Amino acid sequence: MPNLLVQVTLPASSGMAEDNAVNTFAINQGGDGLNDLAFADAIIDFYNAAHATFGVSVAGFLSSHVARTPLAATVKLFTINGALPMGSPRFLKPWTVGGLNNTNATPLPAEVAFAITLEAAGRADAPVETGGGLQRPKQRHTGRIFLGPLVNQTVELVGGIARPSEQLQLVCRDHIVRLDNALKVASTVADLAVWSRKDGVVRSLEAVSTDNAFDTQRRRGHAPSLRTRKPMDEV
């Protein structure tokens, strides 16, 4: 069966399309069309479902820069054909981003993100880069979801350094595993995967990992709304 690429659009509260955050997932052997709705629901559940232990959701870590307007977010499913362009979506479902875990949360700068790394089977044994950096075997076995924009409650101080909280990391890892299991329930031959355009191959996941450092998605940053200038001879 064909494989799928899932594109999730998180709408910006600014209402400007260029401020939207986009995450992508790949699904291995899910393309017969019979389970598209179940796959989309599983993806939405990744964001909106409460963690079994902590009672918080992934969406609840997203700041007010992400709009909670009803049905403003979308999940789109595309058929993957090797390394070829995706074409038009085969399935689309609007949805609503869940509320904050704490209504007193303060937004971090919009470009601050937290990376969830998806490790495809064989990544650990993939050779190091060769050919002057022209080939990147480990990258072909690696996918990343840059979660954000985020709230201040995703931060904890460790040795005076601002790092992603243990709760954020654990909830994200657990929910990736939960999503993988939900896809397998929807279709016994489907699972979460990494798609390498270079190889034209979709590989099932072996593990999910997180780092205790934030990342930056500069394209999510807001443009300045004011510039203040002080002449050097001004008293």
98 lies in some domain: yes
User: Over 70: is that where the pLDDT of 59 sits?
Assistant: yes
Select the more confidently predicted residue: 226 or 134. 226
User: Over 70: is that where the pLDDT of 85 sits?
Assistant: no
C-alpha angle 178-77-16 in degrees, rounded to nearest 5: 100
**Is 12:65 a contact under the CB 8 Å cutoff?**
yes
- pLDDT value of residue 33: 85
DSSP 18-49: GG-EEEEEEEET-TTSTTHHHHHHHHHHHHHS
Look at residues 140, 10, 129, 141 and name the one whose alpha carbon lies nearest to residue 63. 10
- pLDDT value of residue 225: 86
pTM for this prediction:
0.92
Mean pLDDT of 207-217: 96
90 lies in some domain: yes
Owner of token pair 């930056």? 216
* Secondary structure percentages of the chain, helix, strand, coil, to 5: 20, 35, 45
Phi, psi of 165 (to 5 degrees): -65, 155
pLDDT tens per residue, range 104-154: 999 999 999 999 999 998 877 676 666 655 555 678 889 999 999 999 999
Half-sphere exposure of residue 14: CA atoms within 13 angstroms, side-chain side: 13
- pLDDT value of residue 137: 61
47 lies in some domain: yes
Is residue 81 very low, low, confident or very high in pLDDT (cuts 50, 70, 90)? confident
230 lies in some domain: no
pLDDT tens per residue, range 182-201: 999 999 999 999 999 888 89
234 lies in some domain: no
Phi, psi of 10 (to 5 degrees): -100, 115
235 lies in some domain: no
Number of domains the chain is built from: 1
Mean pLDDT of 21-36: 91
User: Over 80: is that where the pLDDT of 235 sits?
Assistant: no
- pLDDT value of residue 129: 62
Mean pLDDT, the chain, whole residue set? 92
220 lies in some domain: no
Question: Who's near 143: CB < 8 A, 6+ residues apart?
Answer: 24, 25, 26, 117, 118, 120, 193, 194, 195
48 lies in some domain: yes
Half-sphere exposure of residue 226: CA atoms within 13 angstroms, side-chain side: 1
Mean pLDDT of 10-23: 95
User: Over 90: is that where the pLDDT of 223 sits?
Assistant: no
**Is 161:212 a contact under the CB 8 Å cutoff?**
no
For 42, the domain range is 3-215
- pLDDT value of residue 140: 85
- pLDDT value of residue 128: 66
